[in-house]
Amino acid sequence: MLKSIIKYRNMVYELAIKDLKTRYRRPVFGFLWTIIIPFCIAVVYKIVFSNFMHAKVENYPFFIYIITALLPWRYFQGSVGESTNSIIGNKNLVKKVSFPKELLPVSIVLANLINFLPAILVIFILLGIFKFGYTIFFLLLPFVILIHTVFILGFSFLFAGLQVIYRDIEYIVEILLLTLFFLTPGIYSLNLVADLNNEYLFKIYMLNPLVGILNLYRLTLLDGFYKTLPQGVNVFNTLIVPLIFSFSMLIIGFYVFKKCELRFSYYIDI
C-alpha cells in the first residue's frame, strides 16, 4: 500500500485537489466553510448543553472544550463517510484506467486532512483569544494526527471495498458514525462517565479508541488537561489502545479492500 502511494503520489495529490476544487468551486465562502460549519455546530451545542441544560466541563469554557473534539471528529466523519462511496462514485475511472484502486479512498482522506490542518491553527488562535496558555504537549500533535489518520484510513478502506458489493454499507456507516459520536466525550466531559460509579462500564468505555484519540487531541491542545482526567484514565487506554487499534484496523481494512477488489468488475455496475 505504502509503495503504491509513493509511486502514484502525484495521482493521489491530483485526486485530492480535484475533490477540494469540486467541493468549494461554487460556494461564495469556498474553503472557509470547512471552519464555519463546525464552529456553528459548536455554538449550537454550547447553547443547548451549556446554557439550557447547564452542562459543565472542568477548567475550560464549554465552547473551547467542544471545538477541540468537534474538529477532529469532523475529519473522521467526513473522511469515512465520503470514502465509503469512493469506488462507486468513480466507477468510470475504475473501469477505464489501470491504477491501484486504494488510491481513491486515500485521496479523499488526504483532501479532508488538508481541510483539517487549518482548523487546528484556528484552535490555537482561539486559545490565544481566550487567554489560555499553550502546553508543551503540542509538540506531539503531528503524532496524534498520524494515529488518527491511520485509524481513518483503516475504516475508509474497509467500507469503500464492502460498499461495492453490499450497497447497504453506506447506511450502516451512517448509523455507526452517529452512535460513535455519542459514545465519545465530544460534547460531554469524560468525568460524567466516570461519575456513573460503574468501574467495569468505564473500563469498557475507555476501550473505544476514539475516546483515547480525543483525549490525545485535548492533551496536546489544552494546557493542564491531564489534571482534569478522572481516575482510570492511563497511558494504556489513552495511547496504547488507539495505537494498536489504528494500525490493526489499517491492516484489516486494507486486506478486506483487496479481497473485495477482486470482485469490483462484477459488482460495480449492479
- The closest of 174, 214, 10 to 82, measured between CA atoms, is 174
Residue 259 confidence class, pLDDT cut points 50, 70, 90: very high
**pLDDT given at position 36:** 79
Average pLDDT, the chain: 88
Region of poorest pLDDT, from 18-32, 70-84, 101-115, 116-130: 18-32
Question: pLDDT tier at 6 (50, 70, 90 boundaries)?
Answer: confident
- Does 80 or 34 have the greater pLDDT score? 80
Model confidence at 97: pLDDT above 80: no
Q: Is 247 domain-assigned?
A: yes
Give the model's confidence band at 150: pLDDT under 50 very low, under 70 low, under 90 confident, else very high. Answer: very high
The residue-averaged pLDDT of 160-172 equals 94
The string of pLDDT tens digits covering residues 10-24 is 888 788 888 777 776
Question: Is 10 part of any domain?
Answer: no
- Does residue 52 register a pLDDT over 80? no
Domain annotation covers residue 175: yes
User: Which of residues 222 and 44 earns the better pLDDT score?
Assistant: 222
Look at residue 41 in the predicted model and tell me its pLDDT.
82
* pTM of the shown model: 0.91
User: Which pLDDT does position 11 carry in this prediction?
Assistant: 81
| Residue 26 pLDDT | 67
pLDDT > 70? residue 30: no
Examine residue 123 and state whether it is found in any structural domain, yes or no. Answer: yes
What mean pLDDT do residues 26-35 have? 68
Q: Domain for residue 191, yes or no?
A: yes
Q: Is residue 111 part of a domain?
A: yes
Domain count along the chain: 1
Q: What are phi and psi of 51, to 5 degrees?
A: -75, -45
Average pLDDT over residues 125-135: 82
Q: Give a yes or no: residue 9 inside a domain.
A: no
State which residues form the domain around 76: 29-267
Task: Please report whether residue 253 resides in a domain.
Answer: yes
- Mean pLDDT throughout 214-243? 92
- Would the pLDDT of 127 be above 80? yes
What is the per-residue pLDDT across 184-225, written as a single tens digit (0 to 9) for each?
998 888 988 988 878 899 999 999 999 999 999 999 999 889
